[in-house]
Structure 1
Amino acid sequence: MYVAVKGGERAIQNAHAWLAEERRGDQDLPLISTDQIKAQMALAVNRVMAEGSLYDPDLAALAIRQARGDLIEAVFLIRAYRTTLPRLGASVPVDTGAMAVDRRVSATFKDLPGGQVLGPTFDYTHRLLDFADAASVDPAPLGAPDPAPVPHVTAILDRDGLIEPAPRDDSPAPDLTREPLELPAARPLRLQALARADEGFLLSLAYSTQRGYGRTHAFVGELRIGRVPVEMEIPELDLTIQIGEIELTECETVNQFKGSRTEPPQFTRGYGLVLGQSERKAIAMSLVDRALRWQELGEDFTGAPAQDQEFVLSHCDNIQATGFLEHIKLPHYVDFQAELELVRRLRTETPTLKEAAE
């Protein structure tokens, strides 16, 4: 046993050294800096921050480089680091209505207060490789926009009583990063889980709702990306101070709803809020959020995966999924030998159908 441990330890050290060599790559090339990752791979940085539940572009860029571009591994590094940080206090809820928007679009109203702001988006680009980009040709700089706060689009429907009132609950929300998930979960806890869920998993669930597995038909009432101030109350001084600024992506969907046994015909809401610029994730989150609300709206459960909160919330975390999946590549020699002996014994004790027929 001692020899096996020593041999395994040496092999692991060599694996780590080889990993460091592979991570560095061709040493004739300059080492990519975390500033370059942060500036030029911003969407990857944003995803790591969102799923890692920590808003720090510098650390997310470092994690991406350390993980060799494996974003789930980078999320794991950020989550692990996050657990070492002290909890100094809690910020007050951010006001997304006061967001300084860089991008703001609506699929429900063409002309809306504040206007449509296309912002930086792939939506209108040709999906063709840009070889000028490969040649490192810098684009011509644009003037910095001067964003101003704009009202939420759903306020237009709310004003006419055509959409359900925004749910309001002033009780303290549970903190998923400090307390284990318990089912059934109320909407604030569900939204926390979805906000840091794996983007690909949410995307698949959201797509399933659009294909009929969830009885929802959504319009993007508004998608906005921008920066909001983060404020913190100082009780000793009886004041609130701004401690920073973060970028958020917010999506509100407007969904068809013919009414139920408990609710009148009206539009209903789906909601998504994600750290950084991550509009695909925010849209998917809002669709899944709406699908999970079937019970409070008095709808029937159709058996759709996106309606089953135990299925969704128990499988949406990519760190939990990765740990459970990848542990099966670790040594299971004793377990396998036991099953191997069981199969051998069963083969000797139980005749096959062919043998039984003979």
Structure 2
Amino acid sequence: MYVAVKGGERAIDNAHAWLAEERRGDLNVAELSVAQIREQLALAVNRVMAEGSLYDPDLAALAIKQARGDMIEAIFLIRAYRTTLPRFGVSLPVKTEDMACDRRVSATFKDAPGGQILGPTFDYTHRLLDFALAAEGETPVVERGEARTEPTPHITEFLNKEGLIQTEVASEETPGDLTREPLELPANRPLRLQALTRGDEGFVLSMAYSTQRGYARNHAFVGELRIGKVAVEMEIPELGFAIEIGEIELTECETVNQFQGSKTEPPQFTRGYGLVFGQSERKSISMALVDRALRWKELGEDNLGAPAQDEEFVLYHSDNIQATGFLEHIKLPHYVDFQSELELIRKLRREAAENLAAGETSVQEAAE
């Protein structure tokens, strides 16, 4: 037993060394730096920060490098590191209406108050490989627009002035924290939103897509999608007032959904909401669609049995770290478990063979 354990340790050490060698790749190719990943693979960095629940582009870039580009492994690394950090306090809610917008579009109002800003987007690009990117040399610098710096009111608030959209009532209750306490059902909306913003982008996207295909009767318009930087403020007890401690980039999406009314609510538009670290448009829109699907009970709607309406199904299966841990543990040694299964199958086969033989003997005796 001792020899087997030591041999296993050596094998694991060798596997780690081999992993490091594979990570580095061909030594004739320049090594990829953390700064390059942070600056040139920003969308990957944003996903790791969002699903890792830690806003730090440098650490997210380091995790991507260490994980050899495996996004879920990088997210796992960030979450593990996050648990080692001390918590100094809680920031105030960010004011997204004061966001310095790099991008702000609406699919519901062409002439949106404050204007629309296309910003950096793939929406209008041809999905063709650009072989110029493979060429050596600096990328030519083009003139870019400036971020909108003045306050930009939310478009849905203009609908709200006419009473056409459901009013969101602010709660004085401090929301729970999924990074410190396990999820319990039924979950209130703040907890659901936390789970969705931490959830796997592909899973949340598939749930959102299912609502668009009719599973939940949830036809939505993007009332507004905005990307930009917002200030983070924190109250300092010794000072007696709040100070700005930094700024973060966020993507915010509000969807507008038709609502026929219920016993408690008049016909009006309702909202879905998504808020994600960095530029994460696909995730924030998906999050808003799923958020709206999960609100069926509070709006007095019928549950159509759609997957996206099932709170337990969505929230318990959206976390890619939990899913990965449960999935990948089956590739680790299960020798004892399998041996018990093997013995059980052998026993059942022996009993079946004995019963078959006994049956054949009985038939033969009856025939005689």
Q: TM-score, normalised by structure 1?
A: 0.97
1:139 shift after superposition: 2.9
The one-letter code of the counterpart of 1:12 is I
Is the aligned partner of 1:131 residue 2:124?
A: no
SS in 2 for 1:350: helix
Q: Partners in 2 of 1:346 and 1:23 — Cα distance?
A: 47
Aligned to 2:106: 106
Deviates more, 1:311-320 or 1:143-152: 143-152
RMSD: 1.5
| CA offset digits 1:190-232 (Å, max 9, x no partner) | 1011111000000000000000111111000000000000011
Structure 2 segments unaligned to the other structure (5+ residues):
364-368
1:351 shift after superposition: 5.6
Using the aligned pairs only, state the percent identity: 74
Gap change, CA 1:351 and 1:167, over 3 Å in 2? farther
Aligned to 2:39: 39
SS in 1 for 2:314: helix
Aligned to 2:19: 19
Equivalences for 1:1-358 in 2 at 5 Å?
A: 1-136=1-136, 138-143=139-144, 145-148=146-149, 149-350=151-352
* Residues 52 and 78 in structure 2, CA contact (< 8 A), matched pair in contact too: yes
1:150 shift after superposition: 1.1
Gap change, CA 1:351 and 1:217, over 3 Å in 2? farther
Gap change, CA 1:9 and 1:169, over 3 Å in 2? same
Deviates more, 1:55-64 or 1:236-245: 236-245
| CA offset digits 1:126-161 (Å, max 9, x no partner) | 000001111145032324614122110101110110
The one-letter code of the counterpart of 1:30 is A
The one-letter code of the counterpart of 2:341 is E
Q: TM-score, normalised by structure 2?
A: 0.95
* Residues 119 and 145 in structure 2, CA contact (< 8 A), matched pair in contact too: no
SS in 2 for 1:46: helix
Gap change, CA 1:354 and 1:305, over 3 Å in 2? farther
| CA offset digits 1:102-122 (Å, max 9, x no partner) | 001101010011111100000
Deviates more, 1:253-262 or 1:344-353: 344-353
1:353 shift after superposition: 11
Q: Partners in 1 of 2:349 and 2:297 — Cα distance?
A: 50
Number of residue pairs the alignment of both structures matches:
358
Deviates more, 1:135-144 or 1:152-161: 135-144
The one-letter code of the counterpart of 2:98 is A
| CA offset digits 1:279-308 (Å, max 9, x no partner) | 000000000000000000001111111001
* Residues 101 and 147 in structure 2, CA contact (< 8 A), matched pair in contact too: no
Q: Partners in 2 of 1:73 and 1:143 — Cα distance?
A: 35
